[in-house]
Amino acid sequence: MLDWSLDVLTRGSRLTAVNAPGGTGAAALAQARRLPLIGDAPEHPAGPLAGVHAGLAWARAQGAEWLATAPCDTPDLPDDLVVRLLDAAHPSGAYAVSPDGRQPLCALWSVTLLERLGETLADGVHPAVRAFQDLGGMKAARFDDAAAFANLNRRP
């Protein structure tokens, strides 16, 4: 499943990495594709924002201004996802919104959010992704095709 998201993200990005624990299928795929594997900081509470924080730290270390994220269980993401998020992202980032609602992990995050996210996670509580995006001032990027964001882990 990870291949689907990687294909979309690599089309829209100059650098790509995988956020996953070592010893997993995702880690093996990252190695096979010769992509960096980024793990969550052990002091952060488990959840998607821990992975976003790890990705933001990696992106900033690479000299990047943005981190694009997408869940691996959405096989039909738009090919232009990253470009359209970037068009809506200034100044702090953007998340996709389809007719089915907000898609918070289909997002583009400014590396300027790194410290704020680190402070948020240091409290030991993992907030809702949407709440952090709102706090950070991220903007909505509209997509007309709800099917493009269909999640294989959700029942119809």
pLDDT at position 74 over 80: yes
pLDDT-based confidence at residue 14 (cuts at 50, 70, 90): confident
Give a yes or no: residue 23 inside a domain: yes
What is the residue range of 29's domain?
A: 2-149
28: number of Cβ within 10 Å? 15
pLDDT, residue 75, reads 86
Convert 78-95 to b/e letters by CB count within 10 Å (16 or more is b): beebbebbbebbeebbbb
Give a yes or no: residue 155 inside a domain: no
Mean pLDDT along residues 24-33: 93
Convert 111-125 to b/e letters by CB count within 10 Å (16 or more is b): bebbeebeebbeeee
pLDDT, residue 2, reads 73
Which of 52 and 72 is assigned the larger pLDDT?
Answer: 52
* pLDDT, mean over the chain: 92
pLDDT at position 9 over 60: yes
Mean pLDDT along residues 77-85: 94
- pTM here is 0.92
Give a yes or no: residue 135 inside a domain: yes
Q: How many domains does the chain have?
A: 1
What CATH number does the domain containing 37 carry?
3.90.550.10
pLDDT digits (tens, 9 = 90+) for 100-134: 999 999 999 999 999 999 999 998 999 999 999 99
pLDDT, residue 1, reads 63
108: number of Cβ within 10 Å? 28
Convert 15-24 to b/e letters by CB count within 10 Å (16 or more is b): ebbbbbeeee
pLDDT at position 4 over 90: no
Residue 66: alpha-carbon gap to chain centroid: 10
Give a yes or no: residue 156 inside a domain: no
pLDDT-based confidence at residue 154 (cuts at 50, 70, 90): low
Give a yes or no: residue 154 inside a domain: no
